[in-house]
Amino acid sequence: MPNFANPFSGNVPRKISKEELIQAVRLDIAGELEAIFVYDAHVQATDDPRAKKILGDIRDEEKAHVGELMELLRILDPKEGEFFEEGVEEVKELMEELAAEEGQIPEEKKDHLRKTVGSLLE
Ligand SMILES: [Fe+2]
């Protein structure tokens, strides 16, 4: 269960600052992830097809909420969005390296992956 230090877990008697809103959205994302985990655990724990169907549908709606909140976070804090994109690009590079290692990339693309600044200077 997420246990963030959070003064905004309930109603607050004032409008919050942009920085506080960003923190609140991060907490909201954590809550959605927790909900996904719990609904999925219940889906796995029952053989009742009706419960599996309904709880699975709710779980998937929570996944959409994560996407909405992540986009809101990018809107509120574009710099943080750049970090998210940086992570996405790092994973893409790692997947390309893995595919190259496993021989799933055409030879000409493998050569591109091996080039470094040093190799371009030669
Ligand atoms: Fe939700």
In tens, the pLDDT along 23-58 reads: 999 999 999 999 999 999 999 999 999 999 999 999
Give tens-digit pLDDT for 76-118.
999 999 999 999 999 999 999 999 999 876 666 656 555 566 6
Tell me the CA–centroid distance for residue 38 and ligand 1, in Å: 12
Tell me the CA–centroid distance for residue 29 and ligand 1, in Å: 9
49 with 86, same domain: the answer is no
Give tens-digit pLDDT for 62-84.
999 999 999 999 999 999 999 99
Tell me the CA–centroid distance for residue 34 and ligand 1, in Å: 10
Parent domain of 109:
79-122
Of 71, 58, 4, the closest CA to residue 31 belongs to 4
68 with 116, same domain: the answer is no
14 with 71, same domain: the answer is yes
Structural domain total, the chain: 2
Tell me the CA–centroid distance for residue 65 and ligand 1, in Å: 5
23 with 51, same domain: the answer is yes
Tell me the CA–centroid distance for residue 14 and ligand 1, in Å: 24
Tell me the CA–centroid distance for residue 47 and ligand 1, in Å: 24
Average pLDDT, the chain: 87
35 with 60, same domain: the answer is yes
Task: Give the pLDDT confidence score for residue 55 in this predicted structure.
Answer: 98
101 with 116, same domain: the answer is yes
Q: Measured between alpha carbons, how far is 113 from 121 in angstroms, rounded to an integer?
A: 15
94 with 59, same domain: the answer is no
